[in-house]
Amino acid sequence: MLKKLWLILFLSLLIQFDQAFAKTLKTIALAPHITELVFAAGGGDSLAGVSAYSNYPAQAAKLPVIGDAFRIDLEQIIALQPDIVFYWHGSTTNQVLQQLQYHQFKTVPIKIESLNEIGDALLTIAGHLDLPDPPGYRTFINRLKQRQQQSPRSHSVLIQLSSQPLYTVNASHWMSEAASLCGLNNIFQHLPTATATVTQEAVIVRNPDYIIQMKPIDQNSPLQQWPQITAIKQQQIIVVNPDTFSRPTPRILEAVDSICRQVNQFSAGVGE
């Protein structure tokens, strides 16, 4: 009996030690969407520093800014002494990684090229922080599967990230996949790179039914001078929140809901 009590006491102390260790683990996120993912994975308390423009959730805006995917404040990072630096695979520069690795900081890549990989990223972060599967993980995956099962492609779309130059994405980009969940077929799906500049003439030739933008279309936009484009002629401009649409996090489904709602309203002859 006494031996059993000692065993219980030992296990209890071990659990408390593990919890104390988990609380002292310090991390840094080198992109706004990674900051958001760390919070979504349940690891917000571990964040000691974040990249510029990390504004969600509200707590993120109060954390020290240590740079971004392209430049870092190395002195500040050294002072913070993080246990893990989560970086954006494919966007964080080799120079930044070399600086971090030279100072022997543990770097963990977060790679997201599809919507399904958002769920994988949550599990990766939780795993490195010794956290259980995030409660929102299953919710996100289930909602995504639901959308994927009800997305017939029937309209063409230009996903316009900027107007001068005219910047867009191809089919491999998560924004294109998000639009496809609302039945929108990317007119530039076959571009050789995930993001690229295109010409107005190329847009006119492809004649999109819809245009997705991060803000209402500017009356001075070059595209407004081409009323033969169906999306311009019928004013079928879909406006999305740039934070939810351009960041690969669970909140991208909010952008999908907004896009689908606007498509349905345009189809019914009603603006949002």
pLDDT of residue 215: 84
- Mark the ranges of the chain whose per-residue pLDDT is less than 70: 1-24, 151, 218-220, 270-272
Same domain, 76 and 159: no
Same domain as 13, residue 131: yes
Q: Is residue 204 within 8 Å of residue 226, measured between CB atoms?
A: yes
Helix or strand holding residue 93 (H, E): none
**Within a domain: 272:** no
The domain boundary, picked from 87, 116, 144, lies at 144
Q: Residue 122: inside a domain, yes or no?
A: yes
> Which structural domain range is residue 235 located in?
152-267
DSSP for residue 65: B
The pTM assigned to this predicted structure is: 0.86
Please indicate, yes or no, whether residues 16 and 138 belong to a single structural domain of this protein: yes
User: Residue 244: its pLDDT value, please?
Assistant: 97
- What residues are paired with 84 via a beta bridge? 27, 106
Query: What residues contact 91, with CB distance under 8 A and at least 6 apart?
Result: 31, 69
The tens digit of pLDDT for each residue in 138-183 reads: 999 999 999 998 867 789 999 999 888 999 999 999 999 999 999 9
Residue 124 near residue 108, CB atoms below 8 Å: yes
Half-sphere exposure of 200 (CA within 13 A, CB side): 13
Pairing of strands 167-169, 106-110: unpaired
Tokens of 233: 């002629």
The CATH code of the domain that includes 34 is: 3.40.50.1980
Q: What is the pLDDT of residue 171?
A: 95
Q: How many structural domains comprise the chain?
A: 2
Predicted pLDDT of residue 4: 53
Q: What is the structure's pLDDT at 22?
A: 45
- Co-location of 221 and 246 in the same domain: yes
Q: How confident is the model at residue 62, as a pLDDT? A: 96
Domain end residue (candidates: 144, 174, 195): 144
State the pLDDT at residue 179: 97
Which of 144, 179, 209 marks a domain boundary?
A: 144
pLDDT tens-place string over residues 37-64: 999 999 999 999 999 999 999 999 999 9
Whether residue 192 sits in one domain with residue 87: no
- Determine the Cα–Cα distance for residues 245 and 16; give it in Å rounded to an integer: 40
